[in-house]
Each structure stands twice: as C-alpha cells, then as structure tokens.
Structure 1
Amino acid sequence: MSTRKTQNRGLGRGLSALMADVGDDIGQGTEDRPRQPDMAVPIEKVHPNPEQPRRNFNADALHELSQSIAEHGIIQPLIVRANPRSHGEFEIVAGERRWRAAQMAKLHEIPVILREFSDTEVLEVAIIENIQRADLNPVEEATGFNQLMLKFGHTQEKLAEVLGKSRSHIANAVRLLNLPDEVLTHLREGRLSSGHARAILTADDPVALARQVIEKGLSVRETEKLVKAVTDPGRTAGSSPRKQRASPAKDADTKAIEDDLSAHLTMSVSIDHQPGAENGQITIRYDKLDQLDRLIGMLSV
C-alpha cells in the first residue's frame, strides 16, 4: 500500500504542479518575467543535488552565462530545498547551471526560492528540467522520457500534455533506446541523427548499417533506401519487372500512418495498400514475447 502511494506521489504533487515549480527556470530566464526569490543566501551554503542525472555542462555556455550573470545578476532565482544532510544549508532542485556560472562570476550571494520536496520529487524535477533543455542529444532526451515513465508511472499522453511535445515524438524517442550500445554512442556523439537512428531501428543488423551510413555520409533518405534494400531483397534489380510494379512505393500518407502506429505500439508496423483498392493488410512485427502479450492485451480491450 505504501509503495503505491510513493509511486503516485510523482503524479503525487502532480506533474503539472512540479512543472509549475520549474516553470521558467530553464536557463537564465528573461528580464520581463523574473520570479521573485524568497531570500538571498551565501553561495557556499548551496550545494548541487548528488543524484542530479545531468553530469556534463558545456564549458563555453557556462562561460557565456557567467558573463551575463556578472553584468546583470541572476534574473531567475534557483529553486532549492533544505539540505537533508546538512542543517542550515541548501540543496539545488533546479538551476545548477546558474550556480556554477555564479561561482565563475565570483558572486557571494545568490537568490533562491525555497520549496519542500521529497527525494523522489527532487529527482523528478531534475529530469523534467533536463528534458526542457535545447542542448540534449537524442539519447539523453529519450532516457529522460523513459525515466519519467518507469520511475514515476507517467504515461506518454501525460508527458506530451505537460511537456508540450507530441505523443508520437515521445514514443519515437523512447524506441531509440532499443538500439545497440554502439549505435546509441554514435547517436549520442552526433555521428548519427535521430532520423538515421529511426531508419535503422528495425533492421536485422543496425550496427553494420550505422557504420555504412557514417562511412558514406548518407542522408536520412538515403539511409531509408539502404535499409529497404537490405530488408526487402525481393525489390532488388534481380526481381522481375512485374513483381516490382506490384509493389509501388508507398505514399507519404501511408508512411505517416505507419510511423504513428509504430510509435504508439513501439513495434514495427507495415501497411500494404494498393492505390485505388479498398483492401490491404497491416503487418505488426514484434521482437519479444512481452511485446506480443502487450499487443494481444491491447487488441482484446
């Protein structure tokens, strides 16, 4: 019983309420919408959250922010809570970048908004804050979405509503985490885009395809053609002209429906529909029996 209550507290305080606490806290904010601090505290009394999932802070961006803080001060105060490990000190809930930049700018005091947060809510807010940043790579973003769903029980629909993103965007992002580690590393380090990654996601050997894409500098469209050639060898030059004509290229609307269904089911979906005909077929590919069980459950409902 208590475990259920703990899980629901992320929904606990309410995701919208937590987002309201983070609010415009991302980055340095804007001068026309500053949030009023509860107090100013010595910078040495404020400490980062040791469980903060974000470990890397861009040095150039920090330097630029520190220059802004040195000239204008901290426009948006940090959100903190009483440090549970040290009486009279504070732990950062949101705003660690500003804290680091303020240290570089040699500020002695920083403005803060004091809130009461549980350990669970602190982690949840940290993930939310990180997802809202524009400089996340696709793997970091997908990991953030996945953490919010697995750790706190949020649905794709709820995340889409609160974070201002489409449900298909969230589903497509999370699906990327099914790729092998080597491909995720390429994606994390910018050698592949999320478009490339989605194209090779359902291939039998995404690692080999990723290496080809990087080596040849293929575009996303070229990568899609490469994947189709590998996964559908019946459409190669050796195929009979009649067979090739029987399987025309899918139109954009059909592809969009396939992508949306694939994102919703987190499985590969193919729609075969002849132009001008009323019939066709949908193929859903599952990679694990767990996916089949989930699909059967969905269809049974």
Structure 2
Amino acid sequence: MQKKVLGRGLESLIPALAANKASTDETIITIPLDKIKSNRFQPRNKFDGVKLQELAHSIEKHGLAQPILVVASTVPDEYEIIAGERRYRASKLAGNKDIKAIVKQSANDKQRFDLALVENLQREDLDPIEEAKAFKRLMEEFGHTHEQISEIIGRERSVVSNALRLLSLPEDVQLLITEDKISPGHGKILAGTEDKNRIRTIVERILNENLSVRAVEKIISGLKSKKKTNGQKKQEVELTNLKEEIQRKLGTKVNISGTSKKGRIEIYYYSLEDLERITKEFKFSC
C-alpha cells in the first residue's frame, strides 16, 4: 500500500530537508544533545520504546540519516526542537553526545506547531486522538479553521471534522481508540450519540462481539428510529387523550390531526340547536 502524501509536506515547509543543505535563513551545525530541549508544541503524547530502540540501533550502525530541525531558545546557546523529536531521543539512547541539526533562524509558535504536526503525520506517529487534539489546539491557540488545517495536512476538510468529533466521546472511550481496541470509524459513529452510558454499552458489545463499524452504524440507526417511533407514539397518545377530553366537555365528536408544530381540530354538530349548544361552551353565539 502506497503511503499517503501530505499536501504541503516537510519538504515544502522546510526546503533544506529536501536538498540536505541550509537555506538563506537556516544553518546546519552539530549541537550537544544536552543543549537541546523538546518541542513545547509536540502534538505526540507517547513514544514507542521498542521503535525508539530500533531507531537507536540504526543510528549506532549507520549514523543519522537526516538532521533534526531546531530553533534558537531564549536561553543562550540552547535550542528547541521543531521537528525530529524521535531522532533526538533515539540519538540519546544510542549514547551519542551531539546531533546534526538545521537551525532555523526564526519560527513563531504557530510555525513550530504546524511543522511538528506535519512531521508526525507524515511518519504516521500520531494516534487518532493525538491527531484530533492537535487539530483542536491549532484551532484554539492559533485560530486555524477546518479548511486551513486541511490545507496544512493535505487532507479533505471532512477528515479534520470527523477527527474532532472523536473528542466528544467519553475519555475512557477515547483511550480505547488510542490503544487501538476500537477503531476511529467506530468512534465516529458513536460520537453521534449524546447518551454517554449508551455509548459505553455499545462499546462493550464492540469489544465482546467484535462488531464491525457497519454493525455499529446499524445499531445506532436502529436506536434513532426507535426513539423517533416512541416519540410519535407518545404524541399520538397525548392527542388521543386531548381529543377525548374535548369530546367529553363539548358532548360531540371531535377530531384532532397534525404534529406537535401544527395541526387541525374538527368539531362536529348535528343540528342548529346542537351548534348553538356547542358555541355556548365557548361563550360566544352564531
């Protein structure tokens, strides 16, 4: 399966990575690892220890294939990672004392977050919940719209919207998605249900019965139809009770038809005297 290509990519955001040389505002230098700090805007919450160790072995054997990207810190002679957190951590595991880095002369907070997000997405390092939280952070802290985020990551706007829907799920259900026990597809369907307890009940069925996304979709659709039917039945009962009460008061046949928003009441009379009697009940005369 061919790996997806993100729209703007690291090569477009960081031209030096493509050419393996510094641009006019970038310099390639070797920096002591103890002078480098992690990215404050790193969207990734966890790092696979086994994969880090594998990368460390590769670095020991073959060296660092690609420099990390850093920007000067507010502390003199110190730097903050923009992209390359895994390479930085693996280099420390490999016992290296320094690392090759591209120093970007200037990068604001928004650019740092954008670059870190794109790198993680390109390397498929983010789980669906981390990805959704990164999108939310871009919106809340930097004012990105769904359209702007979709442009940054090179995906459809619906991908961003569906990812953000996952954050409406209870935290324990979000954790199951992070742990890959249920899929983001399951989560997207479940996010359309407001009742948190019902969501957890369905999640138990997913885990116990190995339900597919399509099966969960049918369950949710069935619950909505049942709710709608129950609502219609309740309305029909209320209208019937109201009709019977009016008939008792007026002493004649009455029909009520319509919905909760609009409808019609029909009052029957069987003679002029009957009509006069009914109008007196309303305290007006013909």
**Contact in 2 for aligned 1:127/1:148 (Cα 8 Å):** no
- Aligned runs of 1:20-31 on 2, under 5 Å? 20-22=12-14
Distance change in 2, residues 1:16/1:193 (3 Å): closer
Of 92, 113, 133, the residue aligned with 2:81 is 92
- Aligned runs of 1:57-206 on 2, under 5 Å? 57-84=47-74, 86-115=75-104, 116-203=106-193, 204=195, 205-206=198-199
TM-aligned CA deviation for residue 23 of structure 1: 6.4
Q: Tell me the percent identity.
A: 36
Distance change in 2, residues 1:46/1:152 (3 Å): same
The reply on whether 1:215 has 2:243 as its aligned counterpart is no
Larger radius of gyration: 2
**Contact in 2 for aligned 1:142/1:173 (Cα 8 Å):** yes
Distance change in 2, residues 1:190/1:23 (3 Å): farther
Q: What SS does the aligned partner of 1:232 have?
A: helix
Question: Could you tell me how far apart the structure 2 residues matched to 1:185 and 1:23 are?
Answer: 36
Task: Please give the per-residue CA displacement for 1:236-289, whole angstroms capped at 9, x wherever unaligned.
Answer: 9xxxxxxxxxxxxxxxxxxxxxxxxxxxxxxxxxxxxxxxxxxxxxxxxxxxxx
Question: Could you tell me how far apart the structure 2 residues matched to 1:170 and 1:41 are?
Answer: 36
Distance change in 2, residues 1:80/1:216 (3 Å): same
Distance change in 2, residues 1:228/1:64 (3 Å): same
TM-aligned CA deviation for residue 48 of structure 1: 1.8
Stretches of structure 2 that go unaligned for 5 or more consecutive residues are: 1-6, 23-27, 230-286
The reply on whether 1:36 has 2:26 as its aligned counterpart is no
**Contact in 1 for aligned 2:118/2:152 (Cα 8 Å):** no
Distance change in 2, residues 1:68/1:108 (3 Å): same
Count matched residues: 214
Q: What SS does the aligned partner of 2:99 have?
A: strand
TM-aligned CA deviation for residue 80 of structure 1: 1.0
TM value normalised by structure 1: 0.63
Question: Could you tell me how far apart the structure 2 residues matched to 1:70 and 1:113 are?
Answer: 20
Of 190, 212, 219, the residue aligned with 1:226 is 219
Question: Could you tell me how far apart the structure 2 residues matched to 1:123 and 1:168 are?
Answer: 21
Distance change in 2, residues 1:22/1:187 (3 Å): farther
Question: Could you tell me how far apart the structure 1 residues matched to 2:51 and 2:90 are?
Answer: 9
**Contact in 2 for aligned 1:53/1:127 (Cα 8 Å):** yes
1:296 maps to which residue? none
Question: Could you tell me how far apart the structure 1 residues matched to 2:162 and 2:129 are?
Answer: 11
Question: Quick check: 173-182 or 200-209, which moved more?
Answer: 200-209
Distance change in 2, residues 1:101/1:17 (3 Å): closer
**Contact in 2 for aligned 1:52/1:123 (Cα 8 Å):** yes
**Contact in 1 for aligned 2:9/2:118 (Cα 8 Å):** no
TM-aligned CA deviation for residue 43 of structure 1: 2.4
Q: What SS does the aligned partner of 2:58 have?
A: helix
TM value normalised by structure 2: 0.66
Q: What SS does the aligned partner of 1:54 have?
A: coil
Q: What SS does the aligned partner of 1:113 have?
A: strand
Distance change in 2, residues 1:54/1:165 (3 Å): same
Task: Please give the per-residue CA displacement for 1:204-255, whole angstroms capped at 9, x wherever unaligned.
Answer: 432222222222211111111222222212899xxxxxxxxxxxxxxxxxxx
Question: Could you tell me how far apart the structure 2 residues matched to 1:125 and 1:67 are?
Answer: 26
**Contact in 2 for aligned 1:145/1:170 (Cα 8 Å):** yes
Stretches of structure 1 that go unaligned for 5 or more consecutive residues are: 1-14, 26-32, 237-301
Aligned residue type for 1:233: K
